[in-house]
Structures are given as structure tokens and as C-alpha cells.
Amino acid sequence: MQMLSEVLERSTVKRRRRFWRFMLPAFVSIQRDHFTTSQLASAMRTLVVGIGGMTNGGKSTMSSSLHLRIPNSCIIAQDAFFKDDSVIAVDSNGFKQYDVLDALHMDRMMSKIESWRKDPGSFLASQSLRTQCSVGEEVFVLIVEGFLIFNYGPLNELMDKRYFLEIPYDVCKERRGSRVYTPPDLPGYFDGYVWPRYLKNRQEMEDMVSDIVFLDGLKSKEDLLDYVYGDVTMEIQSLMGKD
Ligand SMILES: Nc1ncnc2c1ncn2[C@@H]1O[C@H](COP(=O)(O)OP(=O)(O)O)[C@@H](O)[C@H]1O
Ligand SMILES: NC(=O)c1ccc[n+]([C@@H]2O[C@H](COP(=O)(O)O)[C@@H](O)[C@H]2O)c1
């Protein structure tokens, strides 16, 4: 008897979720303020994929290719949230302290992510991206990209999947040397600041977070993309199969 009531209750919950998944998009456009973010997110199947990694590890390359392959996806990149150069701290060697969370407007990045979570369909439209698939059938995928995304607890905890692109010191130094930042790296910046800071950031990340998939950034762009795309696609399919 108890088992029967449990089954009935479970099927009622399922029916209720199916109802909201179907009806919510219509309600949202007229009464958005009456729903909490978690109600919207749970009804509108979403997936947050973190593409982290060291500087020049291949994060932007991977993220833009993933975005092109995954319908209803968009990218929020951490390096769009650097503070103005005038407020970045400088160490005793004259090196700007860019490779720490303090150098980033993480509050602004979180607000942007929150607006995606609240209404991914409108967020895509606001980025001039069109949704594909019929209403109620989509899985909205947010690709969060950046070198310190897993070190920021409130952001890390939103991630459903975490990938980290790593490359050896010499390759990193060479790639970094051929890239021009604003402001440009000073002579000695890589060895005097970027690399030692990376080692600290990485240790901090590994102490805080366990379920990260480390990727060998020396593999070809195509192989890396195929692997991550395959993994994310499996997640999407499992979300689509859920009621
Ligand atoms: N798998 C790869 N193999 C070889 N070069 C790569 C690979 N991924 C990225 N690159 C190159 O490395 C440089 C840095 O890549 P990028 O995606 O901008 O790194 P990040 O966003 O992590 O700083 C670019 O010149 C890019 O073309
Ligand atoms: N405003 C900027 O975008 C800016 C300025 C100076 C350095 N950086 C560098 O950007 C790096 C992080 O971005 P990438 O992972 O794309 O290299 C950091 O190592 C930081 O030193 C960025």
C-alpha cells in the first residue's frame, strides 16, 4: 500500500514537471517576475559547461568551436570582465597582478550568468542568437570560458561539466609570447609572474574542486573538440530523456 502511494506520488510529480515544462515558456514572457530562477532553470533544461585552463591552453578555440556545434548554446568568457588597467595592483617588480580573481569583475560576470539562467531563450535573442528546436524541447547550454572559472566558488558550483586544458611550460611560454594583450606583457612577465601565479592558482583549484576533466592541450584542435563535444552531447541526451 505504501509502495502504491509512493508510485502515485512520483507520477504526480512527473506530470507536474511535464506540465510546467510545456507551459512555462508561455507564462515566462508575461509573468517573469513571479518565478524564481531555480523554478525557471529546472523547467527549462539547462547545462553549464566550464572550459577552463591555463593561459593560451586553447580555451577560446575550444569554446567557439563547441558553440558552433551545439544548438541553443552561448559563451560567457571571463576575460571580458577584467577590471580597468588603472585599478590593477602592481608588485615590487612592476608586474601588473592580472592573474588573480581580484583583477576581475566577478560580480558582473555572475550577473550575466544569472540573466542567462533566468531566461536562456531571451538571453540568446539578446545576443542575436536564435533558438533552435521547438519551445519546451530545447536544452540550453551555457559555455563558461576562462582561466580562473573554477577558482571562484559561486561560479564553480553552477557547473555541470568541468574541463581544463593544460599544456607544458615551454609551449605555454611560446604561445603566450606570440599573443599581444592590452597592455602588452612586459619583458620577464611570463617567468616572473604568469607562470608562478598559474602554479598557485592551479594548486588552489585542485584543493577546492575534484571533478575536473583534464585535457591534453597538445592534442589536435579537432580531437579535443570531438572528445568534449561527444561528452557534452551525452549529457544533453540524458537531459532530454528526463521527464
Ligand atoms: N589544440 C591546439 N593545438 C595547437 N594550437 C592550438 C590548439 N588550441 C589552440 N591553439 C592555438 O593556441 C593559441 C591560444 O589559443 P586560445 O584558444 O586563444 O587560448 P586561450 O583562450 O586558452 O588563451 C592560438 O594561437 C590557437 O590557435
Ligand atoms: N585586459 C585583458 O584582457 C588582459 C590584460 C593583461 C593581461 N591579460 C592576461 O590574460 C590572461 C588570461 O586570459 P587567457 O587565458 O585568454 O590568456 C591572464 O594571464 C592575464 O595576464 C589580460
Annotated domain spans of the chain: 1-43, 44-241
Work out the percent of the chain whose per-residue pLDDT is above 70.
78
pLDDT one-digit tens code per residue, 172-202: 999 999 999 999 999 999 999 999 999 999 9
Q: Which residues line ligand 1 (CB under 6 A)?
A: 53, 55-61, 175, 217, 219-221, 224
Least confident of 29-43, 79-93, 127-141, 151-165: 29-43
For residue 56, report the distance from its CA to the centre of ligand 1, in Å: 5
- Is a pLDDT exceeding 80 seen at residue 160? yes
Query: Angle at Cα 137 formed by Cα 132 and Cα 139, nearest 5°?
Result: 70
Q: Dihedral of CA 9/12/16/21: which sign?
A: positive
Q: Does the 44-241 domain belong in CATH 3.40.50.300?
A: yes
| Per-residue pLDDT at 241 | 83
Average pLDDT, whole number, for the chain? Answer: 87
Q: How far apart are CA 14 and CA 5, in angstroms?
A: 14
Atom of ligand 1 nearest to the CA of 54: 22
| Per-residue pLDDT at 21 | 52
Cβ pair 40, 123 in contact under 8 A = no
70 contact partners, CB below 8 Å, separation of at least 6: 141, 143, 229, 232, 233, 236
99 lines ligand 2 (CB under 6 A): yes
241 contact partners, CB below 8 Å, separation of at least 6: none
The residue with greater pLDDT, 217 or 44, is 217
Atom of ligand 2 nearest to the CA of 57: 15
pTM of the model: 0.86
Residue 79 a catalytic site member: yes
Work out the percent of the chain whose per-residue pLDDT is above 90.
74
The HSE-up count of residue 44 (CA atoms within 13 Å, CB side) is: 28
